[in-house]
Structure 1
């Protein structure tokens, strides 16, 4: 009886030791080197529609499958959708601008930025312009005084509005900020119906807006607005298997962005027209003003810009101060730069 009890005790101890060892092997410290090998059966859930289309059109998806990476694609991008999906544990990573990582932190969702890209000539090729409602006269930033401006606090458009006001020397009290999330055609519709006078519009919708509403205009902000990232749940990055898959994904993603630059017509058909629903003419106009995307050799300047934005939002929106270095996983910095090779952007202006 004693022998049986002793044997059972040893078996339980060994089982416990094995389970602990298995768990510790699956958990990756945030300071540890990224694993090279993707374990069999590893799946990463990603909302990255433009890259999804580009990988298929370019054939780069084969590099992922050859590396053993299985991607469960989600039709999700942008801050509100991705943060909601993170909270429900339905998503590992999503493509966004810089603001969602800040709002995730401020609302209790821990994430890490694992990819940064830049526009090669950002001021000549802005992501947004200020759309002006038909019949409203705004020809300079100073003319924003007294205007109704569409504003979404948790999106890149909201931060852009605050930065524009700062550049114009205006306070929030000098304008009327109209809370309105930028989804689909919400901003063009609000402009067209005169619900707002001004709204930041992405270049992909600007041409359609002007075509639909005669008398509508736009002005450029003169502010750098090209932040583009992939951010992930921290617990996903801490999963050793998913971290290995993400390392492979980040490298292939860099190649996909460069492929978009080199193959604008194929990219237009695969994503802008097939997924975004743009006409061939609107897609061509978007590509003409959008500018080439680049892979930065270092994330120093992008991190400095993110810190400046976090400081501005903390002041203007009454949030806690954030140290953004805690939101950026710079282990992936060299991964994407290595994938870009000699095509990295070394002069990323601050």
Structure 2
């Protein structure tokens, strides 16, 4: 099992262990999954009040690489009352694999992975949510257009080859864009490709596809590298900003882990506030030193992100999530589901309150 740090009164520093998904899953699965002092005890009902204190011996395995760095850079990592193991796991497919192996308690994703988990028999609950205050003005993604392809608006998508990743946020965005444009899947050619790394920009540049949702610094680099060849990007005009933390139901049914997840969400909120209030330190510490980007890239990403929103009322978020779930159920031939069962509203005010106050308690 991964080792943990030595404790020092009155608090214990969280442990940071960077492991790739496959080794982590194999290691923790072989050990019977992560555990704590409450193993074998009575289960906590998913409607019961969250325990306030984290009992001694409780551990948490979290796949949240970006916030891991925010916690370290802000110093908030020192304020946990229990050890956290950070796994180098991000995105829906990796997180779902780790959840299946019971090698992860908590993961950071967009809004599609919780739906995918439900549809594939993995019981999870959303425990934190963040968005952008001006999502249409500051989208996560733009539609990259291959050099020489005539697409100036989403109305021009008919007949085009579009990159599509069914189980990820980018795939859902493609379906929503088609819906907005009054098109169906039969009006275009969906080409299934993973949205990881530079797969989409590379496929666009080589003209394997005509259009693909690309985000972050990929947009800047795609235009810089291929703009002279005729590469372009267009806005899709939809909000694409959900960012969630979701947890295994079995972890939430463990009283110790439930308390630890509550505490993590609070520190998460504080760390996000620090990021927003310290853009220069975040650019240097995360984008430059951790991610290997240039300062200019970091500044581009911070500006593109705009202002963050960490709500204390999830009503609108749940409504939008339901609309997305309904669309995917129809377009991907999935069972219709009530997304309210996926949101653990016991946590509704935890992250947002911590973000607003800058305090985890």
CA distance in 1, matches of 2:297, 2:76: 26
Structure having the higher helix fraction is: 1
Are 1:309 and 2:324 an aligned pair?
yes
User: Are the aligned partners of 1:48 and 1:95 in contact in 2 as well (CA < 8 Å)?
Assistant: yes
- Aligned counterpart for 1:62 among listed residues 68, 73, 78: 78
Match of 2:155 in 1: 142
CA distance in 1, matches of 2:69, 2:43: 31
CA distance in 2, matches of 1:267, 1:127: 18
CA deviation after TM superposition for structure 1 residue 271, in Å: 2.0
Match of 2:290 in 1: 275
Are 1:291 and 2:303 an aligned pair?
no
CA distance in 2, matches of 1:71, 1:39: 14
Count of aligned pairs between the two proteins: 319
Q: Which moved more, 1:196-205 or 1:268-277?
A: 268-277
Q: Runs of at least 4 residues of structure 1 off by over 6 A?
A: none
Match of 2:52 in 1: 36
Match of 2:8 in 1: none
TM-score by length of 2: 0.86
Are 1:213 and 2:226 an aligned pair?
yes
Match of 2:13 in 1: none
User: Are the aligned partners of 1:47 and 1:73 in contact in 2 as well (CA < 8 Å)?
Assistant: yes
CA distance in 1, matches of 2:270, 2:285: 16
CA deviation after TM superposition for structure 1 residue 254, in Å: 0.8
CA deviations 1:27-54 (Å, max 9, x no partner) are: 2110111111111121111111110000
CA deviation after TM superposition for structure 1 residue 262, in Å: 0.8
CA distance in 1, matches of 2:62, 2:39: 24
SS in 1 for 2:221: helix
Larger radius of gyration, structure 1 or 2? 1
CA distance in 1, matches of 2:39, 2:299: 50
Are 1:76 and 2:89 an aligned pair?
yes
User: Are the aligned partners of 1:165 and 1:171 in contact in 2 as well (CA < 8 Å)?
Assistant: yes
Match of 1:202 in 2: 215
CA deviation after TM superposition for structure 1 residue 26, in Å: 4.6
Are 1:101 and 2:114 an aligned pair?
yes
User: Are the aligned partners of 1:152 and 1:158 in contact in 2 as well (CA < 8 Å)?
Assistant: yes
Structure 2 stretches lacking a partner, 5+ long: 1-37
TM-score by length of 1: 0.88
CA deviation after TM superposition for structure 1 residue 322, in Å: 0.6
SS in 1 for 2:310: strand
Match of 1:18 in 2: none
CA distance in 2, matches of 1:309, 1:85: 24
CA distance in 2, matches of 1:213, 1:202: 16
SS in 1 for 2:170: helix
